[in-house]
């Protein structure tokens, strides 16, 4: 069995500023939608958050 471990102290400053891993919500969305584990790991915990469709929508709404 594969085990997935996410150490919260390893989430760096390069993480998405709108992702709240502990509350499992995306504050970039209008409704602060709940994120799934895969989406959280793919977009919120690393430097690739600028490829996240929710993050990009937030940036476009600000313009």
Number of H-type helices and E-type strands within the chain:
2, 2
Q: What pLDDT does 47 receive?
A: 85
Tell me how crowded residue 41 is: count the other CB atoms within 10 A of its CB.
Answer: 14
- Would the pTM of this model clear 0.85, i.e. be above it? no
CA angle 54, 58, 60 (to 5 degrees): 115
Is the Cα dihedral 57, 37, 45, 25 positive or negative?
positive
* Of residues 35 and 8, more confidently modeled: 35
Q: How far apart are the first and last CA of the chain?
A: 46
Residue-range domain boundaries for the chain: 14-62
Mean pLDDT, the chain, whole residue set: 79
């Amino acid at each position: 069995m594969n085990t997935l471990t996410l150490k919260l102290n390893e989430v760096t400053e390069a993480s998405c500023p709108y992702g709240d891993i502990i509350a499992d919500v995306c504050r970039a969305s209008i409704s602060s939608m709940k994120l799934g584990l895969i989406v959280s790991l793919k977009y919120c915990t690393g430097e690739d958050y600028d490829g996240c469709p929710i993050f990009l929508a937030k940036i476009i709404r600000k313009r």
